[in-house]
Amino acid sequence: MKISASFLGSKAIGKTLINLNVTDVDYIHVDVMDGKYVKNKTMPFSELVTIGNYTRKRLDIHFMVQNPLKIIDSYATLNVFCLTFHLDIQDDLNTVFKRCDDYGIKKGIAINPNQDVSLVYPYLDKIDLVLLMAVTPGLPGQEFKKETLTKINRLKDEIKRRKLDVLISVDGGINLENVKYLKDCDIIVSGSTIINSSNYQETITKLRG
């Protein structure tokens, strides 16, 4: 299981990224929010582009935006592992995926807690990753929704049945207690649990189990 560390709740982003860079965390999870798809808004690209000054880790970018086509070209210039988009955006998903393919970047779909996991099934043969949100997107520090576990099992069964190579990632409220239920996932996204700890590497090692 790989770990993607989120810095969404950090009050000192540069220092947090420097500290994460010296750990064995696999990816840095970047939440991009436009203030429209979700109420919150994150730093503009003009500030985020400096992330390479603090870390060489690859970026796991989660777009919580209505119209990602306007900004994909910019984010594709970063050290990106995957770009993930929500099902109910205003842009056409197939066009979005084509833009990612043009850059040779992996693409994913995020499923919100109130959405049935079967909604992603028609896209499974077109994507590389499914991000299951275990909290309502946009706000850090929420509790993990246990019904996500059922979604994980259903999604795994569908991917296996169709013999696809699609990664399952889970984001939201993951801590040292509930991570034991997520060992069959490919990637977990952890924010507060890591960045609020006194020893990032020790916490990351415990999350891996």
Q: Which of 134, 62, 68, 55 is nearest to 97 (CA)?
A: 68
**DSSP 8-state class, residue 53:** G
Q: Is 92 a catalytic residue?
A: no
What's the CA dihedral at 133, 139, 144, 147 to 10 degrees?
-40
Cα(111)–Cα(87) distance, rounded to whole angstroms?
A: 7
The residue from 26, 31, 60, 128 that is catalytic is 31
Quick one: 163 exposed, middle or buried, by C-beta within 10 A (0-12, 13-18, 19+)?
A: exposed
The residue from 26, 60, 128, 171 that is catalytic is 171
Q: Is 102 a catalytic residue?
A: no
Q: Which residues are catalytic?
A: 31, 171
